[in-house]
Amino acid sequence: MAFYQTYRPKFFADLIGEDHIRETLLEASKTDKMSHAFLLCGPRGTGKTTTARLLAKALNCEQIIKDRADKKDISGEPCNKCDACLEIDEGRAIDVVEIDAASHTKVDEIREVIDKARFMPAKLAKKVYIVDEVHMLSTSSFNALLKTLEEPPAHVVFILATTEVHKLPATILSRVQRYDFRRIKKSDIVENLKKIIKVEKIEIDDKVLDLIAVKAEGGHRDAVSLLEQISATGDTSYENASKVLGHSDSGEILAFLGAIFSNHPEEGLKIAQDAYGNGASMIQFNKEVIAYLRLSLLTTVSDQFKFDDTKENVELIQKLSSMKSSTEIARILDTFIKAGQMLKDIAFPLMPIEMAVIEATASMTVDSSQLTVHSSEPKASKQKQEQKISEKSVAGNLQPPPKADRGASDTTDSLTTAPVAVFEMTKDLWQKVIDEVKKENATLAALLRDAKPLAITDKRVNLGVKFAFHKDKISEAKNCAILERVIENILGQKLAVACKISTGDEKKASEALPDDELQKAAEEIFG
């Protein structure tokens, strides 16, 4: 028998991490004030079905019924010794019917259940219907069930369970006694796992139990199943457990984030490439990066934020959080969330992670130039001050230098006609353009991060990019229209956008890239 079945709670007292539910149901069982309909809702693996069976036992326990008739003190706990308790535990009680709503959605099937509910129990005191994943029922089925809930037979109790309570009609919710299950704390899961390994005589390190509890994400059933999965391999070492669970070493993930937060993309790329080379799933790697970024963000926002992890990891996350602002961390988090979306479709799984590393560190380079006001270093140099003045004049009312006289035959609109010096389109100003574009088209904004303003004429903004696919995508009519509209709003003047490859050796770049594998992959993403 599987561990989660062997160690399924047999008493209300055995329920882990659900004290509020345990005490309420015990009191109801003790005082004989059980409802005719219960709703158990919450994440999977937190004990909903187990609680439903405990309720079925408490309603039908022969010892409880006898003690109540003899007016003896009742604890509310089923005895687990009488025929009723044993039959329910073993799944052979004909008066306790478990229904999977996912496979019984038709109204005719529910009506059949309701019709049978009218008959008295064959053996037990109460006929109990446990409807799992009740949110899967059709509208017609809910309507049929509603009639029975409004006027239930005295001998019938309905116990509904769901992971998506928001999908239930309000008419159903108003006629049931609702209990909300919560994710179980890591410490509670670990404590229970220790009890199991003691009985099963399994030698396993606490570090592995911590890993199991984290991977279970608050689900007790999942934690017990993972423990059994690892113990079945015969190797309960942390290294083997990490492989079995598809877990990337947390130290590796935090080192990866440390490289990004320190603005060392080469180191971040190396860690990701090594993980991929060692057989790690990039989807799982990215999920764990996102998980730690989330913790780092929340730690930055609130000093009171607490989370379950090893002491070492908690300290590392706190250190990461002190390195960047919440805005910067949120931007990095957004970058890896998008990488996760790309991972679902792309054939080369390492590429979205690599792109995320480059984008995250590139955006932070721009951000660092905007944080000088908070710096403890001396005032900006005269050159930076002049740059800010230049930015202000460009942002307020762009007035390009006077145009040179042109003959009547000179009708070309040259890329270099009356240029404004490149430094006048400052990093701050260009970042504003990117941020505004992102509100309309995030993909275009990502492309623009690798673009560089070369010059501004009285009619045109000239952009330089390193790769052909950047040039092609930015130059698309719909993308140019967005970019031109944003630039006009920021600069106060309508300008066209021109984009060309500019790498210092343009001929080499333009000839090499069209057949390059990177271009093909990028076109797959952005196309």
Let me know if residue 376 belongs to a domain: no
Q: How many CB atoms lie within 10 A of CB 517?
A: 9
Position with higher pLDDT, 243 vs 397: 243
Tell me: do 201 and 266 sit in the same domain.
Answer: no
390 pLDDT more than 60 = no
In this structure, what CATH number is given to the domain that contains residue 339?
1.20.272.10
Q: Taking each helix axis as running N to C, give the angle between helix 517-526 and helix 350-370, from 0 to 180 degrees, rounded to the nearest 10.
A: 80
Strand partners, 497: 461
Q: Assess whether pLDDT exceeds 70 at residue 248.
A: no
Residue at 408 is within a domain = no
* Cα distance between residue 267 and residue 261, in whole Å: 11
Residue 121 has pLDDT above 90, yes or no: yes
Strand 496-501: give its sheet, edge to edge.
Answer: 452-456, 460-465, 496-501
What pLDDT score does 310 carry?
65
pLDDT at position 50, please? Answer: 92
**Same-domain status, 34 and 159:** yes
Q: What is the CATH number of the domain that holds 500?
A: 3.30.300.180
Give residue-wise pLDDT tens across range 451-486.
888 877 778 888 888 777 678 888 888 889 999 899
Encoded tokens for 167: 């999908």
- Asked whether residue 335 is assigned to any structural domain, the reply reads yes
CATH number for the domain that contains residue 225: 1.10.8
**For residues 383-420, b (16+ Cβ closer than 10 Å) or e, as one string?**
eeeebeebbeebeeebebeeeeeeeeeeeeeeeebebb
Residues 55-67 have a mean pLDDT of: 95
Residues 146-160 have pLDDT tens digits of 888 888 889 999 999
Q: How many domains does the chain have?
A: 4
Average pLDDT, the chain: 79
Are 391 and 468 part of one and the same domain? Answer: yes
Are residues 394 and 507 both part of a single domain? yes
Chain centre distance of CA 45: 18
Among 92-106, 216-230, 389-403, which is the least confidently predicted range? 389-403
Give the end of a domain, one of 134, 162, 180.
180
Q: Tokens for 94?
A: 């004909």
Least confident of 128-132, 238-242, 308-312: 308-312
Q: Where residue 1 falls among pLDDT bands split at 50, 70, 90?
A: low
The reply to whether 9 and 100 lie within a common domain is: yes
Question: What is the average pLDDT across 110-120?
Answer: 86
Q: Are 488 and 464 within 8 A, CB to CB?
A: no
Report the largest interatomic distance among the alpha carbons of the chain, rounded to a whole angstrom: 115
Helix (H) or strand (E) holding 463: strand 460-465
Higher pLDDT, 511 or 137: 137
Written as one letter, the residue type at 507 is K
Mean pLDDT of 197-203: 90
Overall average pLDDT of the 235-260 stretch: 80
Query: Look-up: residue for tokens 């004290």?
Result: 19
Mean pLDDT of 203-226: 86
Tokens linked to 227: 């423990």
Q: Which of 228, 244, 260 is the last residue of a domain?
A: 244
Six token digits for residue 248? 């990337």
Tell me what pLDDT residue 445 has: 82
* Residue 473 and residue 479 in contact, taking contact as beta carbons nearer than 8 Å: yes
Question: Cα(219)–Cα(245) distance, rounded to whole angstroms?
Answer: 15
Domain co-membership, 331 together with 271: yes
- pLDDT above 70 as % of the chain: 81
**148 and 271 part of one domain:** no
Amino acid, single-letter form, for residue 450: D
Q: Where are the alpha helices (DSSP H) in 250-349?
A: 250-261, 265-277, 282-301, 311-323, 326-343
Domain extent, residue 108, equals 3-180
Residue type, 400: P
Cα distances from 331 to residues 193, 203, 357, 417, in angstroms, run: 38, 43, 12, 37
HSE (side-chain half, CA atoms, 13 Å) at 149? 23
Last residue within a domain, chosen from 223, 244, 265: 244
Overall average pLDDT of the 194-208 stretch:
89
* pLDDT at 450 (0 to 100): 77
* Tokens representing residue 361 in the block: 């560190």
Position 352 in a domain: yes
Residue 61: Cβ-neighbour burial (10 angstroms; 0-12, 13-18, 19+): buried
pLDDT for residue 77: 94
Residue 112 is assigned to a structural domain of this protein: yes
Gyration radius from the chain CA atoms:
32
Q: Looking at the structure, do residues 126 and 163 belong to the same domain, yes or no?
A: yes
Same domain, 142 and 72: yes
pLDDT tier, 38 (very low <50, low <70, confident <90, very high otherwise) = very high
Asked whether residue 35 is assigned to any structural domain, the reply reads yes
Instruction: Give the CATH number, domain containing residue 9.
Output: 3.40.50.300
Cβ pair 339, 357 in contact under 8 A: no
Between CA 451 and CA 166 the distance in angstroms is: 45
The token duo for 323 is: 């390195």
* CA distance linking residue 193 with residue 447, whole number of Å: 49
- 314-373 per-position pLDDT tens digit: 888 888 888 888 999 999 999 999 999 998 878 888 999 999 999 998 855 433 333 333
Strand partners for 111: none
Pairing relationship of beta strands 460-465 and 496-501 according to DSSP bridges: parallel
pLDDT at residue 120, rounded to an integer: 93
Is residue 377 assigned to a domain? no
Instruction: Please choose, from the candidates 444, 447, 419, the residue with its C-alpha nearest in 3D space to the C-alpha of residue 362.
Output: 447
Task: Indicate if 209 and 276 belong to the same structural domain.
Answer: no
User: Both 274 and 294 in a single domain?
Assistant: yes
User: Looking at residue 227, what DSSP letter applies?
Assistant: H
All residues at 6 or more sequence positions from 465 whose CB lies less than 8 Å from its CB, including other chains: 447, 450, 451, 452, 471, 474, 499, 500, 501, 502
DSSP structural state of residue 408: T
Q: In this structure, are residues 218 and 46 in contact, taking their beta carbons and an 8 Å threshold?
A: yes
- As a whole-number percent, the residues of the chain with pLDDT over 90 amount to 30
SS3 for 132? strand
Residues 394 and 513 placed together within one structural domain of the fold: yes
| Amino acid occupying residue 307 | F
User: What is the mean pLDDT of the segment spanning 303-307?
Assistant: 75
On whether residue 303 sits in a domain, the answer given is yes
Tell me: pLDDT of 228 over 70: yes
